[in-house]
Amino acid sequence: MKRKLNGLNRSWIASGVALAATGAGASTALAAAKICWEAEATGTMQKPLRKVMGSGNKPYSGKGYLEIPWDKNESKGKGQAVYTFNVKTAGVYTVWARTYWANGCGNSIGVVVNGGTPITLGEDGTYDKWHWVGGGARVRLKAGANKLILKNKETGVSVDQFYLTQDADYTPTGIRKTTS
């Protein structure tokens, strides 16, 4: 356990300093492992979630985005989208999503990673524009296949991309390059 923690500290510290100074930890830190994918690239999804492709709120990344249409939260809590993604470097990652909110009653999403405690992203006051939410939520990923479930916490929300990074100090901006 102690060994694991040491590894963790090293990569966290390394994220904020020159990589050359990290010595033995550099090989881990250099990667500053990150995973980014398109929210519309889900194979498993239930209503009221839907994919918006080729139109809608621009500028989006990829082929479109995933939307839970605003219905005064009548369908709140129903449906989810499942993503399976591959991870090379096991460890603690910060979770981000590129989102678009309809209003103050539709400004958050729920995320469950590897069956862990549900995380709320959002609850902020930025509406009618794409922006990144998250940063506070950290999850542990294993090497190999991991699972993220997007939960319908509120309606009136859209998600363009997901971004998970080992660099706790990094805040994504704009459209990020996907890694899978």
Nearer to Ca ion, 60 or 85 (CB): 60
Q: Which of 11, 29, 37, 38 contacts Ca ion by CB under 5 A?
A: 38
Considering the rule CB under 5 A, would residue 135 count as an interface residue with Ca ion? no
> Residues touching Ca ion: how many (CB under 5 A)?
6
Which are the contacts of 48, defined by CB distance < 8 A and separation ≥ 6? 68, 69, 71, 75, 78, 79, 152, 155
Least gap, CB of 137 to Ca ion (angstroms): 20
Q: Which of 106, 111, 160, 165 contacts Ca ion by CB under 5 A?
A: 160
Nearer to Ca ion, 59 or 125 (CB): 59
* CB-neighbour burial class of residue 14 (10 A; exposed 0-12, middle 13-18, buried 19+): buried
Considering the rule CB under 5 A, would residue 62 count as an interface residue with Ca ion? yes
Category of 156 on φ-ψ map: left (φ > 0), alpha (ψ -120 to 50) or beta: left
Q: Considering only 26-34, 81-89, 133-141, 153-161, which stretch makes contact with Ca ion by CB under 5 A? A: 153-161
Nearer to Ca ion, 60 or 70 (CB): 60
Asked if residues 170 and 126 have their Cβ atoms less than 8 Å apart, the reply is: no
- Share of the chain residues as helix, strand and coil, in percent rounded to the nearest 5: 15, 40, 45
Considering the rule CB under 5 A, would residue 67 count as an interface residue with Ca ion? no
Which positions touch Ca ion (CB under 5 A)? Answer: 38, 60-62, 65, 160
